[in-house]
Amino acid sequence: MPQIFRPSLNTLARASLAAGVLGLSVLSLMAAALNQSPYWTGEHMVRDQPVPFSHKHHVGDLGIDCRFCHGSVQDSSFAGLPPTKTCMTCHSRIWTDAPMLSPIRASYRDDVPVKWTRVHNLPDFVFFSHEIHVNKGVACVTCHGQVDQMPLMWQEKSLEMRWCLQCHDDPGKYLRPRDQVFNMNFTLDRKTMDEFSTPGHLVTDQESLGKVLIDRYHVPTDGRLINCYTCHR
């Protein structure tokens, strides 16, 4: 019976299979890289806002406390956005005719909230409470970065589940005294070491401080923090 396919086609078939496997591997790696890239997670991407509000100016230069604008951060799951009257506390007296602030003046005049673009936006199936984190000693800077150095606000962290779990799995690394939660430049100084040291446990670094704060602030260490139900209810 005459041979239909030449022997050389066997080599071509093997090469095609190898190229297909290699191609799928490359596509998988590219998809994984894309999934972890800022393009997908939104890290360090500045969002367009109706007013170019500068945290660097207001927090870093003027020293305005986070709670002045985000008033519900200590007692609500949502940190809150400032009503226009909060902005007008100052801007009814300074920069009163600045063109960039015209949306603020219009909002105050017409009693219509400014439509800010949300920067940190978790999926609907994720439960997150600012109140819990703040009162357990998790600082603003831990999740939001050095906002006092951001001319325009961006998302500093990936907000992916594995990033959250890094903290939930070992919370002591990220805790600080409650009165330092809103301090953008907290450092563990001698005063803090002495304040939280006990005869049986000296505080000398973040690890030893974390152990004290876990106990003092009743942070669970029994696995509840990495239970699915904690964040997905």
Amino acid at 231: C
Q: Across residues 44-58, what is the average pLDDT?
A: 94
DSSP string, 50-107: SS---HIIIIIIT---HHHH-TTTTTSSS-----HHHHHHHHTTSSTT-GGGHHHHHH
The alpha helices in 83-199, defined as continuous H runs, are 84-91, 102-110, 130-135, 140-144, 161-169, 190-196
How many CA atoms, within 13 angstroms, populate the side-chain half-sphere of residue 107?
20
Average pLDDT, the chain: 90
User: Where is 168: in which H helix or E strand?
Assistant: helix 161-169
How many CA atoms, within 13 angstroms, populate the side-chain half-sphere of residue 149?
8
* pLDDT value at 202 more than 70: yes
Task: Dig out the tokens for 95 from the structure.
Answer: 């920069």
Which pLDDT belongs to residue 73? Answer: 96
Which pLDDT belongs to residue 26? Answer: 66
Instruction: Return the domain boundaries, the chain.
Output: 55-81+116-231
Predicted confidence (pLDDT) per residue in 3-39, tens digit:
565 666 567 667 777 777 777 766 666 666 555 666 6
Q: What are phi and psi of 154, to 5 degrees?
A: -135, 170
